[in-house]
Amino acid sequence: MLNRRYLIAASAALALLGSSGLAGAQEAGKMYVPVISKGFQHQFWQAVKAGADKAATELNVSITFEGPDTEAQVDRQIDMLSAALAKKPSAIGFAALDSQAATPLLQQAKAANIPVVAFDSGVDSDIPVTTAATDNVAAAALAADKMAGLIGDSGKIALVVHDQTSRTGVDRRDGFVNQIKAKHPNIEIVDIQYGAGDQLQSTEITKSILQANPDLKGIFGANEGSAIGVINGARELGRKIVIIGYDSGAQQKQAIMDGSMAGAITQNPVGIGYQTVKAAVAAAKGEKVEPKIDTGFFWYDKTNIASPEIAAVLYD
């Protein structure tokens, strides 16, 4: 019996070491790359998943794609990362909700020689071999310039941001704020609030900001859920302000077409997902990976929303 158990254990160990040392592969003989996003409720993440799936098909690897129900569930995301690492994947894609909280698990990945590819949100660590993301600082600075132009380069504005713990939240907030301070001195930012990317929470935050500032000219919503919340909050109070969003989705696109939103920054979510898996596979094979992968961004409004270049990076 002992010999039989030993042989079974030895066979299992060899199987785990097979396929270039890749354990936990979801399909026999294929490299396995779990991809853990910041959420699943926004259409943005579904577009990222589409890009990841496309790369997996082209590269003949197995992936899983998951994220917590909301972008406030940091603990849930950490549990997902822990479970993924326990499967000893060949590499992992990770978009951190909290750039600090995941550090111990990322250190485990490094110790196990599992390459980590950060995407969308970077991680405050040198452990990820690369980050596939939008230059959120530059994109938010463009949003600030657009806001300034639309409100006559003076007056009061506010921000509704998804969080102050993820790299995207910090970079979009700071990119916008710093551009206003540097280039538009006659504009005053009267409030910055955080709504966890949740539409309902962001709606209530927006209403509170608008009620406290009857002369407010505009609000920047820093992600899909934040922007939709700003639209809804202004609509519920009957306030006409300049609203600039971030990302796409059916509701934002409709808001731009009906004039309730002036415009938005769109990323390239399909490209983010695709480049994440592509970089993870390359890193797992020991190939050179650039330390940063800029996936690009665009401004869109009613004038260019139907253009081929913009339509290609929008999603519903």
Residue 14, pLDDT above cutoff 60? no
For 315, the enclosing helix (H) or strand (E) is: none
Q: What is the 8-class DSSP label of residue 262?
A: -
Ordered domains of the chain (ranges, CATH) = 20-134+269-296 (3.40.50.2300), 136-266 (3.40.50.2300)
What CA–CA distances, in Å, run from 115 to 14, 31, 36, 58, 129?
21, 13, 14, 20, 7
Quote the pLDDT of residue 27.
66
75 CB neighbour count, 10 Å cutoff: 12
Angle in degrees, CA 230, 147, 173, rounded to 5? 65
CA 43 to chain centre: 11
Mutual angle of helices 250-258 and 224-237, in 10-degree steps: 40
Spatial strand order of the sheet with 32-36 comes to 62-66, 32-36, 92-94, 116-119, 130-133, 292-294
Residue 11, pLDDT above cutoff 50? no
Residue 84, pLDDT above cutoff 50? yes
- Gap between the terminal Cα atoms of the chain: 58
pLDDT digits (tens, 9 = 90+) for 169-227: 999 999 999 999 999 999 999 999 999 999 999 999 999 999 999 999 999 999 999 99
Beta carbons of 277 and 55 less than 8 angstroms apart = yes
3-state SS class at 126: coil
Beta carbons of 41 and 4 less than 8 angstroms apart = no
Quote the pLDDT of residue 4.
38
Instruction: State how far the Cα of 17 lies from the Cα of 129, in Å rounded to an integer.
Output: 22
pLDDT digits (tens, 9 = 90+) for 244-295: 999 999 999 999 999 999 999 999 999 999 999 999 999 999 999 999 999 9
Could you identify the residue written with the tokens 């998943």?
49
Residue 3, pLDDT above cutoff 60? no
Quote the pLDDT of residue 28.
66
Q: What is the 8-class DSSP label of residue 72?
A: T
Q: Calculate what percentage of the chain has a pLDDT beyond 90.
A: 83
What CA–CA distances, in Å, run from 262 to 138, 141, 303, 304, 305?
19, 16, 10, 12, 12
Residue 22, pLDDT above cutoff 90? no
